[in-house]
Homo-oligomer: A and B are copies of this chain.
Amino acid sequence: MTTSSASPGNGISNGVTLSSQNGQQENTSDVCVVGAGPAGVMLSALLARFGLKVELLDERPDKTAVGRADGIQPKTIETFQMLRVGDELFRTGVKVHDICMWQSSGTKSLRRLGREVHYPPSIVDVLQPYILLCHQGMVEGVFIDDLRRSGVEVQRSHSFKTYSYRDDEPQGALQISCDWAGHGEKTIFADYLVGCDGARSLVRRSIPDTYAQGTPHKSVWGVLDGELETDFPDLWSKTVVFSEEHGSVLIIPRERNMTRFYIEMKTSATPKDLGEEYVKQQARLILAPYHVEWRSVEWFGNYQVAQRVAARFSDASRRAFIAGDASHTHSPKAAQGMNTSMHDSWNLGWKLNLASRGLARDEVLLESYEHERKKIAHDLIDFDFEHANEIAAGDASRLAENFRKNTRFISGVGVEYGLNKLNLEDDGFSQGAAKPGCNLPPAKVTRYMDASPVDIQLDIPVLGQFRVYVVLGSEIGPSETSFMAALDSRLTSESSLIARVSEAAARSYQDKPRPIRIDDVYVRPERYTPVSQLITYSLITSADKKDFEIASLPPFLSKSGWTVYLDDVPNLDTQGRRCTDKWLGVLASNEVAIVTVRPDGYVGAVKRWSASESGAGESAANWLDGYFEGFLKVPTY
């Protein structure tokens, strides 16, 4: 067992070949990911984009063909947009904008109780305020294609068996054993192992002390995907129908003209009762007097709800992790599973990259994965427990209330992390919506360089780097200029941690570069890392374009021409606010703010200074340096 301070990465690739268990020569990979479901493909796609050597194993011979998860929440859509993937999902998926409730009781026949906007813009501030329905296999396909662009293929028919620390290298790689169907046992060496292998995760079982905490819920649910022949009018919303006599059905529209029905099964049921016919018959009874028949059925599944969270999300040495269903399970009815799972990976991916490159204080950065995501898993099962009960209980108004209370969380936009060394206490500096531990709020600005209106939260490509936004008011006068110059001089001087870690990052990315992808010729990643591989610097100003030239800014910004933005576009939020006002509240004349954003788009730290105060620029540089010092380090060679 290595000690917990073991740091596998040092910025230099360990591409040495060593004898494997079966005598073959093998390379050591950076990360071995087990399971090519949504969590596994998302994680692998991120790591591969960041330049790590990834092995992605899956026991299945192909991606998910039908059924299973299907709901993509607004925040997940935003994440896909940040990654510039999933155009085909928008074109082919079904968009659910509202939620309908129907009810019948002994005295009253079935009637619509209400129809409401699912994600009202005043509550969920996001570009795409709907659930996008497309089945899990389509989502997996998007990332498998993305992995291919980074040069990685899923290794199919590979079943994980166990892992151990390599005997002869206690500080070295993990030795992962798996069974390759038809080829026998195979050993893979990797610095890290991540189990994205579902609720019955074998990786989780291989990690000590990860026993699941939680209470299995007794109810059993049937799920049916098919094309309907019906006169029921509300098939294209998320619809809950309660029948006092026959129970409830949850209706979800699907791509390809299909409809999904969720029906609770009798717990006293015989195996025969748990089938497709039972679900159909219940649906007919609940929806009467409307008629419903099936033209075709694509998938039927049933499952028992279990709400559980693993006790630990990693081993003690922070080499083996679990993510997705492997670390938490819950009911599928709020369309959370695929979304939460992918965001486990979204949280872990950039941290593993920095750790693998030897740039992280592992005890802070890697540890924060469990700290941040376990909180979310618990929030999720707490909500889910209530939500599933309300659907089963049959009280429409209580369900509606439960739903309303949790709307932001369900959308993913309201998934918030606590304060830690990555998410600093903001000391009242953020009087707007940009708050540490929260997603960066969407805002429209104009890119100076080409006059393009852009969504600033999506504009900078995801390269595993941080973003540092310098926010100025409407005047770039002498004090603002000297503030920026002081910042520039300190950030690039040898005395700053940022400069030294950036230098180490430059070496690391030179040695182990991000892959050259076919889309890079259009994306132009080099436009976003001209100063540092670790940080994209950006300026947001309300100044008029004609009042300054990019070339006249200090070097860290003039070299970053593609991320100089003009805050001159009214936002589309309900208050019509501009970016600066929305993020920070009012910025006083002569005030300069800095907003740091983590590679996963969460706000890290916010602070503001009066540019006219002497030493303000130096103070800002110290603060920024201190922030990064909390979780980054200069590797020792």
Name A96's contact: one of B97, B130, B233, B450 (CB within 8 Å): B450
Closest-CB distance, A449 to chain B (whole angstroms): 5
The CA-CA distance from A236 to B257 in the complex, in Å, is 43
Q: How many residues of A contact B (CB 8 A)?
A: 35
Contact with B along A91-111 (1 / 0, CB 8 A): 110111110000000000000
A521 contacts chain B at the CB level, 8 A cutoff:
yes
Q: How many Å from the CB of A255 to the closest CB on chain B? A: 6
- Give chain A interface residues in 534-559, CB to chain B under 8 Å: 545-546, 549-551
A452 proximal to B (CB < 8 A): yes
Say how far A138's CB is from chain B's closest CB, in angstroms.
10
Closest beta carbon of chain B to A528's beta carbon, Å: 13
Judge whether A237 is part of the interface by a CB distance below 8 angstroms: yes
Check A257–B524 contact: CB distance below 8 A.
yes
Task: Return A80 CB to nearest CB of chain B, in Å.
Answer: 13
Per the bound structure, the CA–CA distance linking A270 and B519 in Å amounts to: 41
**Chain B residue at smallest Cβ distance from A522:** B92
A137 to chain B, nearest CB (A): 14
Assess whether A405 is interfacial by the CB under 8 Å rule.
no
A231 on the interface (CB 8 Å rule)? yes
Nearest CB of chain B from residue A445's CB, rounded to whole Å? 13
Residues of B within 8 A of A148 (CB): none
A236 x B449 contact (CB < 8 A): yes
Q: In the complex, what residue of chain B is closest to A549 when comparing beta carbons?
A: B233
Chain B residues with Cβ below 8 Å from A521 are 256-257
Which residues on B sit within 8 Å (CB–CB) of A549?
Answer: 233
Return chain B residues, CB-CB under 8 Å to A253: 450
A526 and chain B: residue at smallest CB distance = B257
Give Cα A587 to B273, complex, Å: 57
Interface core residue of A96, A236, A257 (most chain B CB under 10 Å): A236
A115 & B545 in contact (Cβ 8 Å cutoff): yes
For residue A205, CB closer than 8 A to chain B, the reply is no
Contact string against B for A residues 111-135, beta-carbon threshold 8 Å, 1 for contact and 0 otherwise: 0000101000000000000100000
Known A-B contacts A115-B545, A255-B522; A95 and B233 likewise in contact (beta carbons under 8 Å): no
The complex places the Cα of A236 from the Cα of B231 at a distance, in Å, of 54
Q: What is the interface of chain A, defined by CB distance below 8 A to chain B?
A: 84, 87-88, 91-92, 94-98, 115, 117, 130, 231, 233, 236-237, 253, 255-257, 449-453, 519, 521-522, 524, 545-546, 549-551
The 6 closest A-B pairs by CB, nearest first: A236-B450, A97-B451, A92-B522, A98-B451, A87-B87, A256-B521
Known: A233-B549, A236-B450. 19 other contacts (CB 8 A): A87-B91, A91-B522, A92-B522, A94-B450, A95-B452, A96-B450, A97-B450, A97-B451, A97-B453, A98-B451, A115-B451, A115-B546, A117-B451, A130-B452, A233-B550, A236-B449, A253-B450, A256-B522, A257-B524
